[in-house]
A and B are shown apart, each in its own frame.
Chain A
Amino acid sequence: MKRRPSFSRSVFFTTIFFLSLPLFVLVLYSFNESKSGSWTGFSVRWYVKLFTGSPQLWHAFGNSAIVALSSALVATVIGTLGAVAVNWYKFRLRKYLRTITFLPMILPEIIIGVSLLIFFAGIGLRLSLFTVFVAHVSFNLPFVFLLVLARLEEFDISIIEAARDLGASETQTLLRVILPISMPGIVSGFLTAVTLSLEDFVITFFVTGPGATTLPLYVYSAIRFGVSPVINALSVVMILGTVVLTWSTRNFLKYIAAK
């Protein structure tokens, strides 16, 4: 359906322009020689400073990586087990389980952050990287749970029954049938969890302790209290990182789906 120059087309391209403008400017100005908004010449000095002269930043990055990987791993294990429980067994608390896995996705982030802060203080747990880890597992868990469950539900359950009828033990059925079936859900759950964890600001903001600054928190304070072009360079690296990560995740999932 092609029509005369349309209103929709102009809105579309204006929107694309509006969406990419700030990212484009970040990339461009990360190569700017000067610190200010005016262009004074091409330079990679901010990249050099990013990789060689920013120990605090890399410490924060290290914290982020530790939290993202460990919380995604734990959330993936617990979430997958839970999804299998809901899909495989019948029990009274199924409805409750579905509700509580749904809740963290609709609660405003700040409320999760505040309630966890109060809870940690209440049980006398000192704020540290560990509390950040616990918080991240809590908000990642529902995503893994729902992704794995969705995968299991779209699959014909009779294949499991067939395995059982043909004499597979419960453990065999689990490892040889259910696990491979849910693998795409598990992988996308894990990757979603890593991404969410790497990007989280608000919840981490409330539950972090001294020395446990994550990368988004570091970037926030750098932006808030003075501008350093090192952050521009970092942003570009992060943009590239997320684009590559998301792109490969999507292709990986397509590849699995096609198999």
Chain B
Amino acid sequence: MTTSKKKTIKWGFFIFFIPVFLWLSLLIILPQLELLRLSFMSTGKPGFTFKNYLAFFREPIYWLTFVRTAMYSILVTFIVMAIALPVSFYITKIARVKASGFLMVLLLVPFWVSELIRVYGWMILLRESGVINQVLVNLGLFKQPVEMLYNDATMIMGLVYTSMLFMVIPIIGVMESLDDSLIEAAYDLGAKKITIWRTIIIPYCMSGIISGAIIVFMLVLGSYLTPNLMGGKNSLWFTEQIYNQIIIYFNWNQGAAFGFLLLILSSLIIWVFLKISGQDLKKVIK
């Protein structure tokens, strides 16, 4: 579609244009700018200051949480990738065509349910008086119940659980178009499975993997519920630091600075992902 075919502006145009323009400018763009401004301010003192950003680097608890959150988000992204590849491969290449529709529904249904309820399901399973403990104690495998919630491993599992679909869908999208005969030919020529994965399947699916990785990373980095409900006292997520500053300490300037640091980190890592793969962000989100 060429732009030359588009109509030129008449006043009726503004009925279409003005509402969305005003709404998003006022309620998305303006608040972001205000957040940025606040992050360079200090309560009670006029003028600009870098105090809030300096506090982040001076206070180890802040930047350690930040680094840990980033590291764990990358770790979760890789775990999700490692699971999503064989899962997508099974559904597109191995499962019978008739079955794959049903299997896809099995895969999707858990993600139709809200994150809060899925996390709650895990809490019922894992908590000290929870289902798994009951079963293990009754079987005599455990002498007494063990608290399996509130630690890093459980939290990471929860994050993998809540974000997995966003890797599976883009990979399936790409893998569907991979020609089976390529894999068959490699088999016939004596290639090992690992070689086939490394030289055929993974390179072919790279665009899907990168899209999935970016979405998963963004979601995990910015997630609040799962770390908050499944993580322990020592597994604070950076979003919880933001929450603490804003709601508990009522230090909005500090919270605003943290918010921007989170934004910078997520944009930076996404930019690196895109650079490595040479992709376009708009394509990725679609």
Contact = CB atoms under 8 A, between A and B. Distances in A.
Contacts of B269: none
A119 B222 CA distance: 20
Interface string A1-18: 111001111011001101
Nearest to B121: A22
Contacts of B242: 110, 114
B27 A134 contact: yes
A184 interface: no
Chain B facing A: main interface SS: helix
Interface in A38-75: 38-39
A34 B81 CA distance: 40
A21 B259 CA distance: 35
B115 A115 contact: no
Given A26-B120, A91-B13, A199-B114, A111 B20 contact: no
B113 A85 contact: no
A115 B94 contact: no
B24 A101 contact: yes
A26 B28 CA distance: 37
Contacts of A141: 20, 23-24
Give the interface centre of B34, B229, B266 by most chain A CB atoms within 10 Å.
B34
Interface string A197-233: 0110110011000000000100110011001000110
B131 A16 contact: no
Contacts of A18: 161
Contact of A23 (B3, B23, B110, B262): B110
Interface residues of A, number: 88
A180 interface: no
A79 B29 CA distance: 17
B120 A100 contact: no
Chain A facing B: main interface SS: helix
A138 B32 CA distance: 13
B180 A1 contact: yes
B38 interface: yes
Contacts, number: 256
Interface stretch (B56-64, B85-93, B204-212): B85-93
Given A22-B122, A114-B256, A90 B3 contact: yes
Contacts of B123: 223, 227
B131 A25 contact: yes
A82 B20 contact: yes
Interface string A180-207: 0000000000000000001101100110
Interface stretch (B4-12, B46-54, B272-280): B4-12
Interface string A78-114: 1101101100111101000100111111111111101
Given A19-B110, A102-B282, A110-B242, 11 more contacts: A8-B86, A19-B161, A22-B118, A37-B129, A85-B16, A100-B29, A116-B31, A137-B23, A157-B1, A202-B225, A223-B229
Interface of A: 1-3, 6-9, 11-12, 15-16, 18-23, 25-26, 29, 36-39, 77-79, 81-82, 84-85, 88-91, 93, 97, 100-112, 114-119, 122, 134-135, 137-138, 141-142, 145, 153, 157, 161, 170, 198-199, 201-202, 205-206, 216, 219-220, 223-224, 227, 231-232, 235, 238-239, 242-243, 246
